[in-house]
C-alpha cells in the first residue's frame, strides 16, 4: 500500500510539473505566431493586418497579446517569446542598438545599415511599409502664428518663453533621439520641460498647459489638435521607416506548413502613404472606430482580403 501511494504521489508531481511548464505566460502555442501589441494606434493597426493576412493565407494562428512598451517587446523578440514587432529603422538604430545616425556610413541607407547590424542578433526588418513616422516637434497653430514659427531653429530665440511637454519615454536615456540630446543639438532652453502621461499629452496641448511637444509624424491626433509640425531644418531626428521586425527563425519554423509565409507578410511592403496612416490612426484615436475594423477595411480596399 505504501509503495502504491508513493508511486501515485510521484505521478501527480510529474503531472504538475508538466502542467506548469505548459502554462507559463511566455509559452507559445504550436502552429501559432505571437505578437505583443503596441501602445499606439499605428502599431495596433499594423499588427491586426498581419493577423488577418496570415490567418487568411495560411493555417497559422496569430496570437496578439497585451500591449507592451517597444523596448520590452524587442527584448521578448530576442528571447524568442515574441515573433513579429511593428517597428521603425530609426527606433532599431537609436533605441534598440544604441547607435546614432552619424554611425551610418555615407554610402549606406539607414535601413540597410540597420539590417546589417541586426544580422548578429538573428533578426531583420522586412520591406518598408511606406511610412516615415519620424519624431517631429509641433506647436499649436496659435503659437506658430504668434512667434512666426516654421522650423525648429525658429524656436531658439523664443524657447525661454515656452513650456515643452512630452511623454516619459522621450525623456529617457535609451537612445540618442531624446530630449536632452535634442535641446543640446539645437541649443534650446525652454522655460520648463514637463514629463506627462502619453494619454494626457494632447489634452495638455489643447488646454494650453504646454506650448510645444514631440509627436509622431503620422499620428492622427496631430490633425485633431490642429498642430503645426515644425521642419527639422538641421535634421536631428533620423528616418523612422516603418517595417516588420521579425526573428530569422520564423520562416524556418513554418517552412513545411507555410512555406510562403514571408511572401504573405511582404504583401504589406509599401502598402501605406503618410496620409493613409494619418487617416487610419485618426479613425481609431478620434473617431473611436475599432482597430480591428479599421485594419480589415483597409486590407479589403487594397484587394488583399475578402
**Cβ proximity of 177 and 263 under 8 Å:** no
Closest of 300, 269, 241, 286 to residue 52, by C-alpha: 300
pLDDT in tens, 20-69: 334 334 455 558 999 999 988 999 999 999 999 999 999 999 999 999 99
What is the reported pLDDT for 172? 86
**Per-residue confidence band for 275, with pLDDT thresholds at 50, 70 and 90:** very high
What is the reported pLDDT for 7? 41
Other residues' Cβ atoms within 10 Å of the Cβ of residue 229: 15
* Distance of alpha carbon 41 from alpha carbon 62, whole angstroms: 18
* Distance of alpha carbon 84 from alpha carbon 74, whole angstroms: 9
The stretch 276-282 carries a mean pLDDT of: 95
pLDDT at 5 over 80: no
pLDDT in tens, 175-193: 778 899 999 999 999 999 9
Of 98 and 4, the structure prediction assigns the larger pLDDT to: 98
The length of the chain, given as a count of residues: 306
Phi, psi of 189 (to 5 degrees): -130, 90
Task: Classify residue 224 by burial, with Cβ atoms within 10 Å: 0-12, 13-18, 19+.
Answer: middle
The radius of gyration of the chain from alpha carbons, rounded to an integer in Å, stands at: 23
How many secondary structure helices (H) and strands (E) does the chain include?
13, 10
What is the reported pLDDT for 191? 97
Of 249 and 2, the structure prediction assigns the larger pLDDT to: 249
* Distance of alpha carbon 167 from alpha carbon 148, whole angstroms: 26
Handedness of CA 266, 271, 277, 280 (dihedral sign): negative
CA atoms in the 13 A half-sphere facing the CB of 80: 5
Segment among 89-103, 164-178, 183-197, 244-258 with least mean pLDDT: 164-178
Of 129 and 17, the structure prediction assigns the larger pLDDT to: 129
pLDDT at 305 over 90: yes
* Distance of alpha carbon 132 from alpha carbon 216, whole angstroms: 9
Mean predicted lDDT score pLDDT of the chain: 89
pLDDT in tens, 161-174: 999 999 998 998 77
Other residues' Cβ atoms within 10 Å of the Cβ of residue 115: 19
What is the reported pLDDT for 29? 56
pLDDT over 90 percentage in the chain: 76
What is the reported pLDDT for 19? 38
pLDDT over 70 percentage in the chain: 90
pLDDT at 144 over 70: yes
* Distance of alpha carbon 180 from alpha carbon 187, whole angstroms: 10
**Cβ proximity of 29 and 57 under 8 Å:** no
Strands 163-167, 192-196: pairing kind: parallel
CA atoms in the 13 A half-sphere facing the CB of 205: 28
pLDDT at 244 over 60: yes
CA 34 from chain center: how many Å?
16
pLDDT at 265 over 50: yes
pLDDT at 3 over 60: no
pLDDT in tens, 146-158: 999 999 999 999 9
* Spatial CB neighbours of 181, under 8 Å, sequence gap ≥ 6: 236
Phi, psi of 90 (to 5 degrees): -65, -35
* Distance of alpha carbon 149 from alpha carbon 203, whole angstroms: 21
pLDDT at 74 over 90: yes
Q: Which domains does the chain have, with CATH numbers?
A: 32-133+239-301 (3.40.190.10), 135-230 (3.40.190.120)
Amino acid at each position: 500500500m505504501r509503495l502504491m501511494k508513493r508511486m501515485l504521489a510521484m505521478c501527480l508531481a510529474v503531472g504538475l510539473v508538466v502542467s506548469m511548464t505548459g502554462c507559463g505566460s511566455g509559452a507559445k502555442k504550436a502552429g501559432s505566431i505571437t505578437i505583443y501589441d503596441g501602445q499606439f494606434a499605428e502599431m495596433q493597426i499594423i499588427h491586426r493586418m498581419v493577423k488577418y493576412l496570415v490567418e487568411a493565407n495560411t493555417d497559422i494562428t496569430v496570437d496578439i497579446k497585451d500591449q507592451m512598451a517597444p523596448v520590452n517587446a524587442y527584448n521578448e523578440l530576442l528571447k524568442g517569446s515574441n515573433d513579429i514587432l511593428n517597428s521603425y529603422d530609426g527606433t532599431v538604430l537609436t533605441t534598440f542598438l544604441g547607435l546614432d545616425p552619424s554611425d551610418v556610413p555615407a554610402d549606406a541607407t539607414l535601413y540597410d545599415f540597420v539590417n546589417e547590424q541586426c544580422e548578429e542578433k538573428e533578426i531583420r526588418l522586412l520591406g518598408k511599409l511606406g511610412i516615415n513616422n519620424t519624431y517631429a516637434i509641433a506647436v499649436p497653430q496659435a503659437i506658430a502664428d504668434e512667434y512666426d514659427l516654421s522650423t525648429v531653429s525658429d524656436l531658439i530665440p523664443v524657447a525661454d518663453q515656452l513650456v515643452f511637454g512630452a511623454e516619459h519615454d522621450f525623456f529617457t536615456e535609451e537612445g540618442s533621439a531624446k530630449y536632452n540630446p535634442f535641446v543640446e543639438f539645437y541649443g534650446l532652453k525652454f522655460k520648463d520641460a514637463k514629463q506627462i502621461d502619453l494619454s494626457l499629452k494632447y489634452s495638455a496641448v489643447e488646454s494650453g498647459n504646454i506650448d510645444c511637444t514631440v509627436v509622431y509624424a503620422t499620428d492622427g491626433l496631430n490633425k485633431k489638435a490642429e498642430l503645426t509640425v515644425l521642419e527639422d531644418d538641421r535634421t536631428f531626428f533620423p528616418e523612422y521607416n516603418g517595417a516588420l521586425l521579425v526573428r530569422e527563425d520564423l520562416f524556418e519554423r513554418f517552412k513545411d506548413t507555410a512555406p510562403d509565409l514571408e511572401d504573405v507578410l511582404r504583401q504589406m511592403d509599401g502598402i501605406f502613404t503618410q496620409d493613409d496612416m494619418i487617416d487610419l490612426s485618426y479613425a481609431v484615436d478620434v473617431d473611436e472606430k475599432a482597430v480591428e475594423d479599421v485594419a480589415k477595411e483597409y486590407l479589403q480596399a487594397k484587394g488583399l482580403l475578402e
